[in-house]
A and B are shown apart, each in its own frame.
Chain A
Amino acid sequence: MPERDRDQSVERLLRRVMSDDVTPLQGTCVDGETLAAWSEGSLRGAEASAVERHVADCARCRALMASFVRTTPPVPVAESLWRRWHLAWAVPLASAATAAAIWVALPDNGAALLTPAQETNTLTRDERRASPSSAPAAESAPAPAPPPASASAIRPLEEKAKLAESTNNEARQRTDRSASREFADRQARAAAPPVPQAEAPAPAAPAPPAASVATPAAAAAERAEADSKKEVAANSGLAPLAAARQAFAPNQIVAADGTTRWRIVNGQQVERSTNAGANWTPATITSTDALSAAAAPSATVCWIVGARGVVYVTTDGTRFVRVPFPEIVDLTSVSATDGLAATVSSADGRLWRTTDQGKTWSAGR
């Protein structure tokens, strides 16, 4: 039995075994206050370890933690630099692409906008805690410049807008901050282009063969994000920038012929248009994992990747087939040359390539 099949067997068993509702023999169940203190790191060492040990084995407390985590605004966590050394080479490239794209997008405001861009540059050289989008932006270095530009430019502007709002109440600020972090986080995961607006116009120029759709999140978070964006645009007086940003936010994957397009709807469904986006018909694909990026090397071939190692490909333009993938890892970008050969990359910067439609994958950096 191939190694990969054994891994799949283990995965399947893990789903069953871990879902067993077993209550541990020792330890007391966690109450809300303890969980809150634990999540903020306020518990003393022994207390924290006891909670961790208990939650690891108690189905009820694990469910409690899961529910609680779903209510937690995203906060970027720094990863050790040495763990992502392989991405270091791409940081200057991404920064250069950022600066160049801002200059191209808004030549009139270029001088003013270089400051935030430079700030971003500094931030990306810092730890990931400063800018969660830095590493994935670096991953997308081979992609065309405009998308990372928008992704990187937004953050500093939002930060400034928030500073201006300092008289607002604390909870409001927290919401905005978390929303913008989630926004940045999603963009980071999407790797190539920024999160598309729902009504964003299709790009006039041929789009890169990849597009992203935000991972579905709680409705409240979505609203908070939308509010945050509105406030940023209004407070900072940067409506033109917002418009420019939208113009550079492709939510469609344009095939080489220019008239065939795909788009990811709600992060889980895919639609296809054969008349340059005038009409859309659903493709036969439904994923419970969030789809994040796609690549369309021809009018009938489209690759789509997403969370938990999902890879789909269609070679007739409508019917997508799930392609086996060796790891359960969130995939954030894909590039393809035809229905057989594609390269995908994960959120943690690893690359895989196939030349036989996923029958075999070779890992590389």
Chain B
Amino acid sequence: MSSWRPSASAVTHLYQQSRAERWSLPVAVFAAALERSARKVFVTPPEPRDLERLLGSLHLEDLALACACAGGHEGAWEHFVREHRPVLYRAADAIDPTGGSRELADSLYGELFGLVERSGERRSLFSYFHGRSSLSTWLRAVLAQRHVDRVRSTRRFEPLPEAEPTPSARSEERPQPQSRISAYVQLMRRAVTAAISRLPAKDRLRLGCYYAEDLTLAQIGRALGEHEATVSRNLAKARREIRTDVERQLREEERMNPSQIDECFEAVVEDVGSLDVSDLLGAASDHPDSSGSPGSRRKDSRDKRSKERPEGASA
């Protein structure tokens, strides 16, 4: 019979596996946690076999620990502090080495303890842990989530960049050299965007991680379960495909001849608006005062990274 609720024998077996007796956790509390986990995963009541498979795959010891901590068991809480609090703080330091995320880690710690009052009740953040990952991974992910959401909410108050004129608006103007460059750049942006959208999701993810998030090849590999050499190869392949696709679009859809296509690619390099100093570094690194100097490149990179850094943290 389909149900989210595991059988009594299954609960007993899982309870033993979880070593929940260490924390004197009532079996009923543990059974309720198992059911909560099942409801989180299955929209409709699962078949007993599916339920058994899910419950067997849970991180039961961590789930029992979370239940005991949420219930205020002192021994469990001490165990958590000893084992997992350092994980939380290490993760905070990794997210923001300047210490800006420590405050987030502390507030998270408070919520785990159950400082948040909800309808008169003290509810611990632990009740949101369903055992689908290890407790330490969950903590790191929740911390990352808080961090990103805080950064993004801060960014909402930053002034928006001046909107770039649309190509149609530009086409009415006299074709000044600079406006022609801008038009070409807009065209190239559209072409690249279209080419990216035609790539498989994993390629898009790799490109985003590399170009937007500034992750290293090793970090991307860690996220996707690939070796960094594989990431490197796949990125190179995706770039080749994008270039080929863009050239095809310009040739077939925009009816451009080879020299016009060349102009399009050159426009991207010439366009001041899209100045990416890292690309110019090769040509300008021997002129420290120029815009392509290593110093300005660092600033460029720092600006890019600052997207992820809360203002409060960097202040």
Of B9-17, B21-29, B87-95, B166-174, the one contacting chain A is: B87-95
**Chain B residues within 8 Å of A287, by CB:** 294
Instruction: Specify which of A6, A35, A285, A349 is in contact with B144 (CB 8 Å cutoff).
Output: A35
> Number of A-B pairs whose CB atoms are under 8 Å?
267
* Interface check A62, CB cutoff 8 A: yes
CB-defined interface of B149-172 with A at 8 Å, one 1/0 digit per residue?
101100000000000000000000
* Interface check B233, CB cutoff 8 A: yes
| Residue contact A286 to B298, C-beta cutoff 8 Å | yes
**Chain A residues within 8 Å of B134, by CB:** 36, 40
Of A15-23, A230-238, A242-250, the one contacting chain B is: A15-23
| Residue contact A63 to B211, C-beta cutoff 8 Å | no
On whether A328 and B235 interact (CB within 8 A), knowing A31-B145, A169-B82, A220-B93, the answer reads yes
**Chain A residues within 8 Å of B302, by CB:** 288
Q: Nearest residue in A to B84 (C-beta to C-beta)?
A: A171
* Closest Cβ–Cβ distance, residue B149 to chain A (whole Å): 8
Could you list some 12 contacts between A and B, CB below 8 A?
A14-B207, A19-B304, A33-B138, A40-B133, A49-B201, A71-B95, A77-B228, A218-B90, A220-B94, A286-B294, A288-B294, A328-B236
**Given A1-B266, A8-B279: 20 more A-B contacts, CB < 8 Å:** A1-B262, A5-B266, A12-B268, A12-B276, A18-B208, A40-B133, A52-B201, A59-B212, A67-B95, A69-B209, A71-B91, A77-B228, A79-B230, A171-B82, A171-B83, A175-B90, A288-B294, A288-B301, A330-B216, A330-B217
Of A90-98, A152-160, A317-325, the one contacting chain B is: A317-325
| Residue contact A63 to B213, C-beta cutoff 8 Å | yes
CA distance A72 to B133 in the complex (A): 14
* Interface check B249, CB cutoff 8 A: no
**Chain B residues within 8 Å of A64, by CB:** 144-145, 148
* Interface check A271, CB cutoff 8 A: no
**Chain B residues within 8 Å of A17, by CB:** 189, 192-193, 196
* Interface check B3, CB cutoff 8 A: no
* Closest Cβ–Cβ distance, residue A91 to chain B (whole Å): 16
| Residue contact A5 to B269, C-beta cutoff 8 Å | yes
CA distance A66 to B209 in the complex (A): 7
**Chain A residues within 8 Å of B230, by CB:** 79, 83
CA distance A57 to B215 in the complex (A): 16
Instruction: Specify which of B132, B152, B282 is in contact with A33 (CB 8 Å cutoff).
Output: B132
The B190-249 residues at the A interface (CB cut-off 8 A) are: 192-193, 196, 201-202, 204-205, 207-223, 225-230, 232-233, 235-236, 239, 242-243, 246-247
Chain B positions within 8 Å of A, measured between CB atoms, are 57, 82-84, 86-87, 89-91, 93-95, 97, 128-130, 132-134, 136-138, 140-145, 147-149, 151-152, 188-189, 192-193, 196, 201-202, 204-205, 207-223, 225-230, 232-233, 235-236, 239, 242-243, 246-247, 262, 265-266, 268-269, 274, 276, 278-279, 281-282, 285-286, 288, 294-295, 297-298, 301-302, 304, 307-308
CA distance A71 to B174 in the complex (A): 52
| Residue contact B95 to A53, C-beta cutoff 8 Å | no
**Chain B residues within 8 Å of A1, by CB:** 262, 265-266
| Residue contact B133 to A77, C-beta cutoff 8 Å | no
Q: Nearest residue in A to B97 (C-beta to C-beta)?
A: A219
* Interface check A365, CB cutoff 8 A: no
**Chain A residues within 8 Å of B297, by CB:** 286, 288
Chain A's interface: helix, strand, loop or mixed, by majority?
Answer: helix
* Closest Cβ–Cβ distance, residue B191 to chain A (whole Å): 9
Give the 5 A-B residue pairs with the shortest CB-CB distance, closest first: A348-B229, A79-B227, A36-B133, A66-B213, A32-B142
* Interface check A126, CB cutoff 8 A: no
| Residue contact A347 to B229, C-beta cutoff 8 Å | yes
- Of B226, B228, B276, chain A has the most CB atoms within 10 Å of the CB of B228
**Chain B residues within 8 Å of A69, by CB:** 209, 215, 219-220, 222-223
* Closest Cβ–Cβ distance, residue A109 to chain B (whole Å): 33
CA distance A170 to B19 in the complex (A): 15
- Of A33, A68, A71, A185, chain B has the most CB atoms within 10 Å of the CB of A71
CA distance A9 to B246 in the complex (A): 11
- Of B188, B242, B278, B308, chain A has the most CB atoms within 10 Å of the CB of B278
**Chain A residues within 8 Å of B246, by CB:** 10
Instruction: Specify which of A8, A13, A74, A224 is in contact with B188 (CB 8 Å cutoff).
Output: A13
